[in-house]
Amino acid sequence: MGQAWPLPSLRLRQQKIRISSRSFGRYHRRQPQPPQPHTRGLSEALLDSFLSRAAGEGSVLTYRERGVVQLIAEGYTNKQIAGLLDISVKTVKSHRAAIMRKLNLSSPTQLVRYAIRNQIVEP
């Protein structure tokens, strides 16, 4: 028959090990580089954008959570909200818990006050 060739997977495995050991040595020998000016500017812009969104309470909630807040403030029960939005009661409870946590509220009364102050519902 013909000459036996080494298996391709074996050759690849050996190359990976060799490349890994080279990369490891290069990585540990080089000194940390200061961030590039354009990278620093981008990071600052992203951070400013995040902080400005977090500062405005209206933008903290998702569209769905705002809908749940509206229905809660209008006096609907979890079961009624689940029926209206075609979701499970457990999902409504999860939304309610997430809303209360995000807004740092401890009672449904505070949630209704939030909805009125942020014009989600009319008094």
CATH number at residue 65: 1.10.10.10
Residue 42 lies in a domain: no
Residue 21 lies in a domain: no
Residue 116 lies in a domain: yes
CA dihedral of 25, 26, 28, 34, whole degrees rounded to 10: 180
Distance, in Å, from the CA atom of 22 to the CA atom of 100, rounded to the nearest integer, reads: 52
Q: What is the pTM of this model?
A: 0.53
Q: Is the dihedral of CA 100, 102, 105, 110 positive or negative?
A: negative
The mean predicted confidence, pLDDT, of the chain is 76
Q: Which domain holds residue 99?
A: 60-123
Residue 16 lies in a domain: no
Distance, in Å, from the CA atom of 70 to the CA atom of 122, rounded to the nearest integer, reads: 10
- Please, which pLDDT band fits residue 123 given cuts at 50, 70 and 90? confident
Residue 43 lies in a domain: no
Residue 4 lies in a domain: no
Residue 112 lies in a domain: yes
Residue 54 lies in a domain: no
